[in-house]
Structure 1
Amino acid sequence: MFRRREAVPFSFVAEADRFRSNIVPPPRQPIGRSELMSRTLVGLVVAAGLAGSLLFGLPSLESGQHPGQAQQSEASQGR
């Protein structure tokens, strides 16, 4: 089997945990009024979509029979 002639230095892996960058990310800019309004609008649209899907989806999840109603078939009703 092939064997390496020189050892692989693993010291750089140990140094990677201790490394600290001297580059500082730029400070965050304050959120403007238009961006705040757009985020609020998107949140309201998502919430309205979830509420609407729940409102329109619940009737389709119900079984066709209610517990208080008696079952009647068309044949038993007669003409």
Structure 2
Amino acid sequence: MLRRREPVPFAFVAEADRFRSNVAPPPRERPTLGQLAGRTLLGLTLVAGLVGSLVIGTPALSTDTHSDTQQSQASEGR
């Protein structure tokens, strides 16, 4: 029927967290001037897009109370 299995020791997983290699990874390559310029241009483009959308979207979100008073004054003058 159902056999009861013995628990599997997972001590090797705990040891893997403590394992330190004596091999150093290779040093990271420095980005070239073109790569730095490209990253800077991309960042500036993203920031300009966010600022532009904020500038364009702000008037649409503001409540225009002056047009209501102008319309009411125009209707009273007639």
Q: Same fold by TM (over 0.5)?
A: yes
Alignment match, 2:4 = 3
Identity %: 51
What TM-score, normalized by structure 2, do the two folds share?
0.73
Aligned counterpart, 1:59: 59
Name the structure where helix makes up a greater proportion of residues: 2
Gaps of at least 5 residues in structure 2 are: none
CA distance 1:75–1:34, shift in 2 (3 Å) = same
Q: How many residues align?
A: 75
Backbone CA RMSD of aligned residues: 2.4
Cα distance in 2 between the residues matched to 1:14 and 1:44: 45
1:35 aligns with 2:39: no
Other structure's SS at 1:39 match:
helix
Deviation of 1:31 after TM superposition, in Å, equals 1.4
Give 1:14 deviation, angstroms.
2.4
Structure 1 spans left out of the alignment, 5+ residues: none
